[in-house]
Structure 1
Amino acid sequence: MGMKLQCEAEVINRMLPTFGMKNRGRGTQAVLSIGQQKEKVPGRASLVYLMICTQKDRAGSKYKLKANIEQFFTKFVEEGKATIRLKEPAVDVCLSKASVNALKTFLSAAKLAHQSNAAEKLPLSTLTPAKASEVTKPKTKLTIMSKQDYPLTKSFPYSLEQLQVSYCRLARVDMRMLCLKKLRKLDLSHNSIKKLPVTIGDLVHLQEFILHDNHMEEFPGVLCSSTLQRSLQSLDLRQNRLKALPLRFCQFQELVQLKLDDNELMRLPFKIGQLMKLRVFSAARNKLPFLPHSFQDLALENLDLFGNPFQEANPLVPNVELNLSPLPLFECAARAVVNYRIPYASHILPAHLCQELDMSKTCKCGGSCLNSFIHVAVTMNLHNVSHTVVLVDNMGGTEAPVICYFCSLECYSQFLDRYLQSNR
């Protein structure tokens, strides 16, 4: 079919302002071709034309190219934009939303056609009207709300940026969805999905992922190390069967909104305080007895922890894990690695040791502890971490118990002294 380019195009007549008229001011989906027109006179040399086809004009408008280009404007070619200024008629062909490489190739062909007899140097063919599919604007949004509407034989359009498939009784994520590399929002709410494929992590632009009301029992830890950690901003896991989230969950550093309501969570991610951009967090109606120590590092706008069986905090009743005197050799070595920020990774240490080091707790003194520590539950007013707080219970409370760790008896004693003094 010769040289072709699919993009948005606008043909601006430079003479219109002279007559006090305005151009439309926006492009339309088009397919541009460089090719030859079939000449009616036998033996006459075929001329090379630029043809622009749109949905309204699929037959296309043709413009002669040889010695007819006044100027190329290519300052924004890396953004998929360029303008071809023709001498006769006096029009500017403004191109946008084009593939950068395809646009560069097309402009080179146009330049060659302008300068010489391109029929010999370019793979040209006779110009023909565009197909309807070529001039239809790519579909970016698709919503399917019933099993009858679900495509069984047809592919999803590759141009999709938003896809919702709800109430379709999906038991797993359709692998065809994982080919949609432009997806920014994927809504699979109200299905029967039990597991996520690890290849979800290949959706490099995914910002919003909704899995509300499914049968998920675990969230794959491998997804936390995928490209999603740089793109995912909103995650909705409400109404599933999750008992815990993976240790690496807090690698989702771009997360702004996290919804975990109506699951079976016994604990929150240990290092949840590392989610520095998190602003909206809800985990209502779970089975949380305490909040992790790092919860105090969050800076939220909205927080909902209603309906959890929070235990009463009593700093006077400490729990002691393993030996504190003398400290086991492993504990001493592990504390030194964390306190002195000595780099470690699975190619240096066995993976299970790396996992233990990742689970290190921070004492009130700033030091670390791993397996030997004292921990107590202290009461925290949730307004310390969030502007708006949904009441924790029907009694009007906005307080919840937070676990605090102490690396030694001395640190716990100092805390106890301060606590008793403040409560006299």
Structure 2
Amino acid sequence: MRLHCEVEVVSRHLPALGMRNRGKGVRAVLSLCQQPRSRAGGEPGDRPRACLLISTLKDKRGTRYEQLKENIEQFFTKFVDEGKATVRLKEPPVDICLSKANSSSLKQFLSTVRLAHRGCEVNAQLSTLTPVKTSEFEKFKTKMVITSKKDYPLSKNFPYSLEHLQTSYCGLVRVDMRMLCLKNLRKLDLSHNRIKTLPATIGDLIHLQELNLNDNHLESFSVDLCQSTLQKSLRSLDLSKNKIKALPVQFCQLRELTDLKLDDNELIQFPFKIGQLTNLRFLSAARNKLPFLPSEFKNLSLEYLDLFGNTFEQPKVLPVIKLQVPLTLLESSARTILCTRIPYGSHIIPFHLCQDLDTAKTCVCGNFCLRSFIQGTTTMNLHAVAHTVVLVDNMGGTEAPIISYFCSLACYVNSSDMLK
């Protein structure tokens, strides 16, 4: 039985000697092997002993720990679902720290080691005690860059340990499902292909931090992706040079985003809750069809902003009035739920009501409004939200129209100077 992972062997004598371990694992192959009878000792009818062999690319013959039976002091498996575990041996007094392993393979390997420790029969699962081949370490590649169709692997899988995968100019029309099995993936570059849709299972890549989809044929970014584990992991997203007209309001749940590129699409609006992207620092949406910015755009705090080449309209003189007097029961209830932050979900109230609450507008006073509001347009200097601003037009302007909402006539009157 073999396990591919990173290994660090830490001697427990080091602290007593005033020394510290390196704190970094190396790529290795762990083999649970059967010792030769000449080394295992005992009578001919005795059961062969299991030993643990740790082989690296520099030492393919490996380091052998010959005694496993009743020689394991403790297993540390709190993070086994993340591919991490530690096996503490009694003699020699070392901790064998494992990381970046396939979680299911790691669980199976530890289960077999535990049986060997108890002296149970594990012969059927033991490997031969032979040096590991160099080809075994090909599975440890962390980065793969493919930039032509002829180099794209068709007959073999991607190395499971990949953390950075780039497949550009390969003519892909869909995301290869084999990529979605790469659970260690942190950067996925699918730029310069012909991909039209994204599978929701991209959201299962729990460590994915950078996703590059530049120059494809995408027309949308699905709600499922916005509500996946990408909410906690995704830092950089490049959707430039596609055919996207709008992003769902749920897009603003990707709150770890720091870098967002939307250049050269067909955007007619930003998600109106874009102000919830509090970690966003770099935003580029040049050469789209944006007529105005949403009111919550004012809540952003950017280092770099590029909105050049959009079809910004002149602010309208007259506001759009959609006030309802008195407020409907739906409007009044929605405002109460949102203002008091009462939790809601489709398991509590009907789904269409959840959608209404998710798309509620924010008044300049901080309250919320659903269908009863006044809508006004003014301009804002983009330097108010960004340190560096690319000029909006060829005339040297840095101002853009912005939509504002007012939950009542009083709010509109009190803020009327904003709309002059």
Task: Output the TM-score relative to the length of structure 2.
Answer: 0.81
- The worse-fitting range, judged by mean Cα deviation, of 275-284 and 365-374 is 365-374
Q: Between Structure 1 and Structure 2, whose CA radius of gyration is higher?
A: 1
CA contact (8 A) 2:258 2:279 kept: yes
User: Which residue does the alignment assign to 2:233?
Assistant: 231
User: Which residue does the alignment assign to 1:395?
Assistant: 395
Structure 2: give runs of 5+ residues left out of the alignment.
13-20
1:301 alignment partner, SS class: strand
CA contact (8 A) 2:183 2:206 kept: yes
User: Which residue does the alignment assign to 1:146?
Assistant: 148
1:243 alignment partner, SS class: coil
How far apart are residue 80 of structure 1 and its match? 3.3
- The worse-fitting range, judged by mean Cα deviation, of 210-219 and 197-206 is 197-206
Spell out, residue by residue over 1:239-275, the C-alpha distance to the aligned partner (whole angstroms, 9 max, x if none). Answer: 0001100121111121111111110100000100011
Closer/same/farther in 2, CA of residues 50 and 190 from structure 1, 3 Å limit: closer
Q: Which amino acid aligns with 2:363?
A: C
User: Which residue does the alignment assign to 2:212?
Assistant: 210
How far apart are residue 154 of structure 1 and its match? 1.4
Q: Which amino acid aligns with 2:204?
A: D
CA contact (8 A) 1:5 1:102 kept: no
User: Which residue does the alignment assign to 1:345?
Assistant: 345
| Aligned-partner Cα distance in 1 for 2:328–2:7 | 72
User: Which residue does the alignment assign to 1:406?
Assistant: 406
- The worse-fitting range, judged by mean Cα deviation, of 26-35 and 291-300 is 26-35
How far apart are residue 319 of structure 1 and its match? 1.8
| Aligned-partner Cα distance in 2 for 1:83–1:320 | 71
How far apart are residue 327 of structure 1 and its match? 4.3
Q: Check if 1:80 corresponds to 2:82.
A: no
How far apart are residue 30 of structure 1 and its match? 3.7
- The worse-fitting range, judged by mean Cα deviation, of 152-161 and 183-192 is 152-161
- The worse-fitting range, judged by mean Cα deviation, of 144-153 and 346-355 is 346-355
| Aligned-partner Cα distance in 1 for 2:303–2:189 | 24
Structure 1: give runs of 5+ residues left out of the alignment.
15-22, 113-117
User: Which residue does the alignment assign to 1:266?
Assistant: 268
Closer/same/farther in 2, CA of residues 108 and 374 from structure 1, 3 Å limit: closer
User: Which residue does the alignment assign to 1:31?
Assistant: 30
How far apart are residue 229 of structure 1 and its match? 1.3
CA contact (8 A) 2:30 2:52 kept: no
1:31 alignment partner, SS class: strand
User: Which residue does the alignment assign to 2:370?
Assistant: 370
| Aligned-partner Cα distance in 1 for 2:330–2:54 | 73
1:199 alignment partner, SS class: helix
CA contact (8 A) 1:37 1:126 kept: no
| Aligned-partner Cα distance in 2 for 1:66–1:402 | 69
User: Which residue does the alignment assign to 2:18?
Assistant: none
Cα RMSD after superposing both structures:
3.6
Closer/same/farther in 2, CA of residues 9 and 259 from structure 1, 3 Å limit: closer
Closer/same/farther in 2, CA of residues 11 and 210 from structure 1, 3 Å limit: closer
1:309 pairs with one of 297, 300, 311: 311
| Aligned-partner Cα distance in 1 for 2:392–2:139 | 49
1:377 alignment partner, SS class: strand
| Aligned-partner Cα distance in 1 for 2:279–2:378 | 25
User: Which residue does the alignment assign to 1:196?
Assistant: 198
Spell out, residue by residue over 1:399-421, the C-alpha distance to the aligned partner (whole angstroms, 9 max, x if none). Answer: 111111122233222222x458x
Q: Which amino acid aligns with 1:401?
A: P
CA contact (8 A) 2:219 2:244 kept: yes
2:412 alignment partner, SS class: helix
How many residues are treated as equivalent by the alignment? 398
Spell out, residue by residue over 1:74-132, the C-alpha distance to the aligned partner (whole angstroms, 9 max, x if none). Answer: 78996534565757xxx9796543756467557646756xxxxx5x7552768431442
How far apart are residue 204 of structure 1 and its match? 1.6
